[in-house]
Amino acid sequence: MLMKAVKFLSVLFLCFITMSISLARAFASGVARQEAVATALDASNEHKATGLSVTAESAILYEVSSKTIIYNKRADEKMPVSYLTKLMTILLTAEKLETDREFTLDRKLITSADANSKQGSQIWLDVGEKISIRELLKSVTIGNANDACVVLAEGISGSENAFVKVMNSRAKSLGMRDTSFVDSTGISDSNISTAKDIALLSAEVLKHTNLKGYFTTWMDNVRGGKAELVNLNTLVRKYKGISGLKACASEKAGNCIAASASRNNMNLVAVALKTKDSDSRAVDAKAMLNFGFDGYDMYAPEIPKDAVEPINVTHGVVLKTDTYVDGTARLVIKRGTAGDIGISFDRMSKLEAPVKKNTKVGELVFSMGSKQILKHNIYTKNDVQRIDLVGAFSKLLLSLLRI
């Protein structure tokens, strides 16, 4: 019995020496890094339009899900945006419907004298008339009813002036840096924005998919048939994949349009400001949408398996920990260039415990030629505690018992 105990202790001592040597080597080696590279052909992901004729003074073609500008014609130039201002009123109405249980489509609001006094496009509301939020929303999205717009503004914020403050605050939160609203309707020429800012606003509006039915309706009526609504965005009648938004005109702003459509996983918004007439705004919007759908594709990056394989951990209670990539955004690329995309990653091969969850251990890079088009970080999935002497001996004893 004594001999067996001596033998066991001798084996245990040898194992301890072996472990100590291994740990010393790990300390000496430091942290290694590895890299895998796939070379792309000489290509570019710069979205510059060629052969696209747009007559508008300012225009943009924007892919919503990837936040990519495909075409840009003086898109940062400030100018009056006419009744495209109503897109913000529509957005705030949609958000109010989602966050306030008492603010429902069936709820009726009362028409004020101020709302009744609005000129231009309207549904001829009488002072004191009660009308549902559903009909008001239809009147603003399908038509451009100014009186309905003010009733909504007052119903949300108490007064149009208070509502305008909310409009400008929301614009700021969306990154609309060159936008300033002065009313809820767009009647004033002092409602200033840019094609780029209108694209950002449109993208946010499109998140509210319940609005699509309104935006894509060609004709309707409200107030029991007393007021007809006609959509000025003529693309809703015949453009494949159309999903909204709004067209309008005023003397100073000219003809303007923000049009959206979806095909093949691409969600495009085309904005044209100050076209010469209503036909030109539709032609410009259609040309930009066609340019996007015909010349570009959505690319969904595939993550190499070895980029996210488990990473070794020294001095830890476990020998490895899993890794992951922080999401994979889709990219807009020129049609036919998917094969030109190069994928490379650079990550640590070892970590020393303790290791915190979500520790950055590398980067995954997608490129075309010398141009980097997308980068993601690689992180650890779990915490790994540092092993102590007791834990080390426990693991050794368990290994010996298995023998």
pLDDT band with cut points at 50, 70 and 90 for residue 23 = very low
Mean per-residue pLDDT, 149-163: 98
Question: Does 49 reside within a domain?
Answer: no
Give yes or no: residues 307 and 291 share one domain. Answer: no
Does residue 5 fall inside a structural domain? no
Residue 390 banded pLDDT, cuts 50, 70, 90: low
Query: Could you tell me if residue 382 is inside a domain?
Result: yes
Q: Average pLDDT in the 279-291 region?
A: 97
Q: What are 317-363's pLDDT values in tens digits?
A: 899 999 999 877 788 999 999 999 999 999 998 999 999 999 999 99
Residues 166 and 265 in one domain: yes
The CATH number given to whatever domain includes residue 312 is 2.60.410.10
Task: Point out the least confidently predicted range of 20-34, 146-160, 260-274, 326-340.
Answer: 20-34
Q: Is residue 34 part of a domain?
A: yes
User: Is 175 inside a domain boundary?
Assistant: yes
Report the pLDDT value the prediction gives residue 389, as an integer from 0 to 100: 61
In a domain, residue 180? The reply is yes
Does the pTM exceed 0.85? no
CATH number of the CATH domain containing 120? 3.40.710.10
Residues 322, 388, single domain; the answer is yes
Which range of residues forms the domain containing residue 227? 58-297
**Over residues 164-193, mean pLDDT:** 98
Looking at the fold, whether 365 and 285 belong to one and the same domain comes out as no
3-state secondary structure the chain: CHHHHHHHHHHHHHHHHHHHHHHHHHHHHCCCEEEEECCCCCCCCCCCCCCCCCCCCEEEEEECCCCEEEEEECCCCCEECHHHHHHHHHHHHHHHHHHCCCCCCCCEEECCHHHHCCCCCCCCCCCCCEEEHHHHHHHHHCCCCHHHHHHHHHHHHCCHHHHHHHHHHHHHHCCCCCCECCCCCCCCCCCEECHHHHHHHHHHHCCCHHHHHHHCCCEEEECCCCEEEECCCHHHHCCCCEEEEEEEEECCCEEEEEEEEEECCEEEEEEEEEECCHHHHHHHHHHHHHHHHHHEEEECCCCCHHHCCCEEEECECCCEECEEECCCCCEEEECCCHHHEEEEEEEECEEECCECCCCEEEEEEEEECCEEEEEEEEEECCCECECCHHHHHHHHHHHHHHC
**Percent of the chain predicted with pLDDT > 70:** 84
47: pLDDT strictly greater than 50: no
The band of 22, judged by pLDDT with boundaries at 50, 70 and 90, is very low
> What does the pLDDT read at residue 177?
97
Number of domains in the chain: 2
For residue 164, tell me if it sits in a domain: yes
Q: What is the mean pLDDT of the chain?
A: 87
Give the pLDDT band of residue 214 (cuts 50, 70, 90): very high
pLDDT for the residue 204? 98
32 and 68 assigned to the same domain = no
Pair 281, 136 in one domain? yes
The verdict on 336 and 369 lying in the same domain is yes
The answer to whether residue 50 is domain-embedded is: no
251 and 341: one domain? no
Q: Are residues 33 and 98 in the same domain?
A: no
Same domain, 241 and 305: no
